[in-house]
Structure 1
């Protein structure tokens, strides 16, 4: 689960930043539109996540967009933070590794609290954030499992074990792709269904 969530978090950051720029109606400089063959003056729903990824990873385009924010500090911060993350493959590797380790630590803390409740009958100082994290992780896994079950092509009676094993294989392949700098678009982050 930590690996799944770590990879999905990259895609979520990109999607969130794009939707923020859409909502704030941020202008796209003419030079950027020409460079990327965009038929848009502002960020909107017609711009795909992959096109947005290309904009962010192009230094000249990212600089031009940063100049067009006109006082929208949150949008500038999110865009610039995303640019810094995606500009170098080493940054992507470090972020995915850090996210994975953070989730593993949180799951360990959740497990310790669970054991306190089971063996002692209660737990002092039960942190609401731990409950929120667990809920988020479980919901993410349920969505991935349901998506894999929906998209499976070859097996009619697919088991949960089959789905989890195939998801683990796909996620491990994505981690290898990140380690070998094979992430070139957001499509590279999508989880393929192999069953």
Structure 2
């Protein structure tokens, strides 16, 4: 999801105009969040452009605080994977309740839409990787490539040190399709 959905085009354009290390919008936003050299810029942006967005400010600040330990960032992504796994278990339990007990559930549409988003994202990644990369001829090749990339990311993020430009590029490599 693009950040313009939350902030609007003007605020995102203001944010990205002074960040020159990266080409992709998502990498520029990550640079804004994690790189220490943008601390003053972040404070100014918080005070002016994000003053009416306390939730976004809190999330950015919370992520910035984790910049000194790349392993914390890896644990954050593991927590996200765990939440997706729990969501899939909830869907499976709901499916069992419907099939075996004939129960209906009030939140079935919301749960189904979340699953739909996950499935759409995976299928889109598969299609793009199969179409763009001549070496990836099968879905199994894409999964193997993704597995190897995840291991590379994990190794990098488990090393001590601050989040830097290289960590950001590696973290976001091959997972975000430009829209």
Fold shared by both chains (TM-score > 0.5): yes
Are the aligned partners of 1:57 and 1:83 in contact in 2 as well (CA < 8 Å)? no
Are the aligned partners of 2:74 and 2:157 in contact in 1 as well (CA < 8 Å)? yes
| Corresponding residue of 2:167 | 184
Q: Flag the structure with more relative contact order, 1 or 2, with Cα contacts below 8 A and sequence separation at least 6.
A: 2
Name segments (4+ residues, structure 1) moved above 4 Å.
Answer: 25-28, 46-49, 74-77
| Corresponding residue of 2:33 | 56
Which TM-score applies when normalising by structure 1? 0.62
Are the aligned partners of 1:66 and 1:80 in contact in 2 as well (CA < 8 Å)? no
Task: In structure 2, list runs of 5 or more residues that go unmatched.
Answer: none
| Corresponding residue of 1:173 | 152
| Corresponding residue of 1:153 | 134
**Of 51, 60, 69, the match for 1:82:** 60
Shift of 1:60: 4.9
- The 1:60/1:27 distance shift into structure 2, 3 A limit, reads same
Shift of 1:148: 1.2
| Corresponding residue of 2:79 | 98
Are the aligned partners of 1:50 and 1:185 in contact in 2 as well (CA < 8 Å)? yes
| Corresponding residue of 1:7 | none
- The 1:126/1:189 distance shift into structure 2, 3 A limit, reads same
Are the aligned partners of 1:50 and 1:187 in contact in 2 as well (CA < 8 Å)? no
Deviations 1:108-151 (A, max 9, x none): 1111222333444x332152321121011101101111111012
Looking at structure 2, the residues matched to 105 and 147 of structure 1 have their Cα atoms a distance apart, in angstroms, of: 27
- The 1:123/1:173 distance shift into structure 2, 3 A limit, reads farther
Q: Secondary structure at the match of 2:143?
A: helix
Are the aligned partners of 1:148 and 1:163 in contact in 2 as well (CA < 8 Å)? yes
Deviations 1:21-77 (A, max 9, x none): 75226757xxxx5xx779xxxxxxx88544443343333522333224326324565
| Corresponding residue of 1:123 | 103
Cα RMSD over matched residues? 3.7
